[in-house]
Structure 1
């Protein structure tokens, strides 16, 4: 039963914690660097430096392709989306891993009697394929991908869909993400929003302007249930 402040049983984590995937739970940049290296090699180009690609990972395939192939026009890059996804499927979880502290955070949420799930703009099939490779298939309570519904983040519907599917009120949830779209979606869904500062972002982005309820420097900063923002 939820407590009166909207948090779950145990010591006070939200009843349901929803996470973005790439750049929040999973440091998937190495998998994408390997993917781009294959595509560039096919065109006779050198691999792209990891540091140059990393800030674009949370923005999706098209943003990464724009960073990797700025000399191509939009139509040419669009034609690379399908090959990109095909190569990425081969690289899935071969190089990346959960961010340091993520496993401890997930365990703390579970130990408190709360549940956690994933709402990502990654295609659902790719996100689902990751779960068994990370040992999360029996632990993740809900997964909503970018193509699960007709809309995706920053629309709040994927977050609301995840909560409704588990019978949890939005105010009893929290959403954690590393991109401004995550925070926009969480606020529109009336869920407390946590900015994952350990994730991916471009140099010109300022997370302080996203109006999240909490800015967390590392997953370990969320181990204390008292650190989590309360419902609005």
Structure 2
């Protein structure tokens, strides 16, 4: 890892793209309420937040697998649909922005740059998050996991976001808390910043993901770690 957040900087890229859950938004409490409703409907007791939290960035199927370990990881489609339908009712009721995110987004805007979201969350759910945060007119582009034929770790969602705004890939960067985020950014040719404050399962080593910078907290990005070069 060649650089650490906190280097002297001059400006933000023209477009800063973020993952959503685990990067901008601490949505684990919403997810916990979702799986606990599903468990209660089956006569089971609630899960603890710390048991579910590491799996949030891996999506509805992974969280359902943790909530119902007897499935052995084989989660049927109807259970995923139940998760999504229940989550839609809990969305935004318990989640919050990570500390420092509001100031970071304001700084990006004040610098004349734009920011957007590329997430594997279904687009219709991701868009429902925006009004409660006052982001409808601030988020320049939003790409969900079902917006295109591919999702992260494929680079297409990141490339699509840049193209939609007419921004060259060289003028973008991506921030995410999962290995798939970093893989997607590297494949797209964008600097890849690892959000260490996000969700990780025990034993994961984010330094091994191949990102350009390890970032401890959103506020560290106020001193943007430029120049960045993508490792060949």
| Distance (whole Å) between structure 2 residues aligned to residue 76 and residue 172 of structure 1 | 40
In the alignment, which residue of structure 2 is the partner of 1:230? 228
Aligned to 1:48: 47
Question: Is the contact between residue 61 and residue 75 of structure 2 (CA under 8 Å) also seen in structure 1?
Answer: no
The CA distance in 1 between the partners of 2:229 and 2:135, in whole Å, is 27
Aligned length in residues: 222
**CA distance in structure 2 between the partners assigned to 1:144 and 1:97 by the alignment:** 21
Q: Quick one: structure 1 residues 148 and 135, their matched pair in 2 at CA, closer, same or farther if it must change by over 3 Å?
A: same
Q: Secondary structure at the match of 1:63?
A: helix
Gap regions ≥5 residues in structure 2: 1-8
| Gapped regions of structure 1 (runs ≥ 5) | 1-9
- Structure 1 residues 218 and 35: CA distance shift in structure 2, 3 A: same
Q: Distance in 2 between matches of 1:74 and 1:166?
A: 39
**Corresponding residue SS for 2:214:** strand
Inter-CA distance 228–49: structure 2 relative to 1 (3 Å threshold):
farther
Q: 2:4 matched to which residue of 1?
A: none
- CA RMSD in angstroms, aligned pairs only: 1.3
Superposition pairs of residues 58-207 of structure 1, within 5 angstroms: 58-74=57-73, 77-207=76-206
The question of whether the paired residues in 1 share the 8 Å contact of 2:182 and 2:193 is answered with yes
State the 1:72 CA deviation.
2.2
> What's the offset of the Cα at 1:228?
3.9
What secondary structure sits across from 2:117 in the alignment?
Answer: strand
In structure 2, do the counterparts of structure 1 residues 88 and 16 end up closer, same or farther at CA, with 3 Å as the change threshold?
same
Structure 2 CA distance for partners of 1:228 and 1:50, relative to 1, 3 Å: farther
Instruction: For CA contacts below 8 A with separation 6 or more, give which structure has more relative contact order.
Output: 2
